[in-house]
Structure 1
Amino acid sequence: MTPTIHDVARLAEVSIKTVSNVMNDYPHIRPATRQRVLDAIATLDYKPNLSARGLRSGKTGLLSLIIPDLRNPYFAELADVVVRSAEARGLSVMISQSNGDRDRELSLLLGPRMQMVDGVLFSALALSAADSDLLGKIRTPMVLLGERILDGPKDHVTMRNVEGSQAATEHLVSIGRRRLVAFGSDPAQGLGSAALRLEGYRRALAGAGIEEDPDLVVDVVGWYRRNGADSMRRFLERGTDFDGVVAFNDQIALGALRVMQEAGLRIPDDVAIIGFDDVDETAYTLPSLSTIDPGREEIAEVALRYLVGRIDGSDADVAPRDHLTTFRLQQRESTAVV
């Protein structure tokens, strides 16, 4: 027979309420008691009945994660961390792609799916500050991920884009590079990641006393490998002198890396290159790619903690919070000192 929450409570020698509290990750439970319950759940292979839970509590145990695009490894890996962290709390996650389309983002936020979930993690891309009033009208608990494109009464968790890009640029300066390409700017993006990472690049140059050269600021519209490759080909055709590349994400860095190698440039002897995001494959390329780890695990963990607190009411009186994660520079072969 399928095990029930009563079976878990009997095996762990606790009350049903205690089992429920452990499954919902309530903090005020003794570690030994929590472990007994988790062991009982594992022994019985207990799976909560979400339908029954919803009928009793008005909660479904289902969260929505809205991200721009699973083709981008950063978002795919973020989704993986969110799903695993949610499952550890006894919750399930429904993943939706907005494709960076404004109408699609609005449809996902205002459509019938919102009635199915207890809370939403939303990485906005196409909405703008003009849509901020929308947030106050959405009653479903929500945590915003990514850049603070929208202003409104919601918790917000994101990475340190400016500081991370500044650290990446300073790293290239520290190994003796002076002609640094800012690779990935996008004037049409407004207040997004591209603008913030360009700001970090500029701060690092200013701090090192290096005058910015507009010819070294290279637009890349669309942060995928092919866009990075195409933009690097066009840049190389101009014959501009450079000895380092600060790429604004790993995918365009990998596209640029391939094109530079095809052109006979040695990495890092002739050109050092660093990316941003620390997606898994960067550790296995030839050469391996130096990059900025933006704190993806921390983003998922903090965002879920905030969201669960809003859902269960324990944070009902807490003012909207902004959390910036801790980043780390991962130095690999593409910026090794030669």
Structure 2
Amino acid sequence: MPPGLKDVAERAGVSIKTVSNVVNGYVHVSPETRARVQAAIGELGYRPNVAARQLRGGRSGVIALALPDLQSAYFAELAGFIIQAAEKRHWTVLIDQTGGVAERERGLLARLRRHLIDGLIFSPLALAGQELAADATGVPMVLLGERVWHGPADHVAIDNMAAAADATRHLCELGRRRIAAIGAQEGPVAASAQQRLAGYRIALEQAQRPWLPGLVAAVEEFRRADGAAAMARLLDSGDPPDAVFCFNDLLAIGAIRTLLDRGYAVPGDVAVIGFDDIEDGRFSTPTLSTVSPGTDRIATRAVELLAERLGDDAAGAPSPREVRVGHRLVLRESTLGRLAARHR
């Protein structure tokens, strides 16, 4: 049997309560006693049973994270930031991929009822607010993304419409006239795409640029191949754009590949801006201008809200909260050119 509190107490010549106070960081222990207990812990190789302690307090120390697509660089980076924030609270994160499919999202909620999970951070694409409320797991939940606003749980997101408008406005300020958009989608699972399209249109109208349906390219998915194919269709239309706003960075990287393959200079002939500020864009050729949605801040805030609901930081808010995280433009070579980007 591994050594326990009783063994440490006997070795140090103190009570079990005193050992517990030292292990849990209780401040009102004399330096001499603390040193004696710590020496006994080192000699015996005692390790606190964190899991048992959490279970005795009604907690497992485990939260779940459900995201639509872990192959997406954005969601992969988001998951990493959430894990980092959770580790600071000594939480373990279980990750599930839903594919944005309603049946799989419902299945996730059903599975959580059978597991000892303290809370859930969930980015739904298919389930709406009423369905989430009806399928409530009984554990605190924080929602991400644009599918559910003012729903049954705390929600963290950015203003996609304003962010898209800022990206498009940047292209207008560069003097570009035929500004295309890559990433249009339809249906309830495409809330982000629809908000970004709306922001693109708003910025064009404000800048008195033409809204031309032929400059809007739809995609099935937000992947590099979809961006490359959409850019090819725009170039083959006979009147190509001189700038492109892509609804995520992977689409933009694919679009740039097609432009370079066709002999177009970026940004000389066509300026390109993306969305998400993933790591790939910082090392692409040219480096990618983009919208940074503050992925690390989204993750940190989501974990903070969950902790508040669990009572770690506060008694818990009485009603679901809507939290918006600010975005910013990150301007690089794909819109500014190498020399201008270098001097920013």
Normalised by the length of structure 2, the TM-score is: 0.83
8 Å CA contact retained: 2:126, 2:189: no
Q: Partners of 2:205 and 2:173 in 1: how far apart? A: 14
User: In the alignment, which residue of structure 2 is the partner of 1:66?
Assistant: 66
Q: Once the two structures are superposed, what CA deviation does each residue of 1:126-171 show, in whole Å capped at 9, x if it has no partner?
A: 2235524325x33110000111436532100012211111111011
Pair 151,176 (structure 1): closer, same or farther in 2 beyond 3 Å: same
Map 1:254-293 to 2 at 5 A: 254-293=253-292
Pair 112,132 (structure 1): closer, same or farther in 2 beyond 3 Å: closer
User: In the alignment, which residue of structure 2 is the partner of 1:203?
Assistant: 202
Pair 18,176 (structure 1): closer, same or farther in 2 beyond 3 Å: farther
Q: Partners of 2:113 and 2:266 in 1: how far apart? A: 48
Map 1:195-234 to 2 at 5 A: 195-234=194-233
Cα RMSD for the two superposed structures: 3.0
Map 1:1-338 to 2 at 5 A: 49-112=49-112, 115-129=115-129, 131-134=131-134, 137-149=136-148, 151-189=150-188, 192-312=191-311, 314-336=314-336
8 Å CA contact retained: 1:149, 1:192: no
Q: Partners of 1:197 and 1:62 in 2: how far apart? A: 34
1:323 is paired with a residue whose SS is strand
2:156 is paired with a residue whose SS is strand
8 Å CA contact retained: 2:157, 2:324: yes
8 Å CA contact retained: 2:235, 2:241: no
Q: Partners of 1:46 and 1:145 in 2: how far apart? A: 40
Q: Partners of 2:203 and 2:4 in 1: how far apart? A: 58
Q: CA deviation at 1:115?
A: 2.6
8 Å CA contact retained: 1:132, 1:151: no
Q: Once the two structures are superposed, what CA deviation does each residue of 1:254-295 show, in whole Å capped at 9, x if it has no partner?
A: 111101111111100000000000001101010000001101
| Equivalences, count | 315
Which blocks of at least 5 consecutive residues in structure 2 are unaligned? 9-13, 28-37
1:329 alignment partner AA: L
Pair 88,194 (structure 1): closer, same or farther in 2 beyond 3 Å: same
8 Å CA contact retained: 2:112, 2:137: no
Q: Partners of 2:138 and 2:85 in 1: how far apart? A: 24
8 Å CA contact retained: 1:149, 1:191: no
Q: Partners of 1:193 and 1:167 in 2: how far apart? A: 15
Q: Once the two structures are superposed, what CA deviation does each residue of 1:30-73 show, in whole Å capped at 9, x if it has no partner?
A: xxxxxxxxxx9xxx899763430243111000010000111000
2:66 alignment partner AA: I
Q: CA deviation at 1:315?
A: 3.7
Q: Partners of 1:21 and 1:326 in 2: how far apart? A: 37
Identity of aligned residues (%): 40
User: In the alignment, which residue of structure 2 is the partner of 1:32?
Assistant: none
For the pair shown, the structure with the greater C-alpha radius of gyration is 2
Normalised by the length of structure 1, the TM-score is: 0.84
Q: Once the two structures are superposed, what CA deviation does each residue of 1:165-206 show, in whole Å capped at 9, x if it has no partner?
A: 111101111111111111101023466100010111111111
Q: Partners of 1:251 and 1:308 in 2: how far apart? A: 33
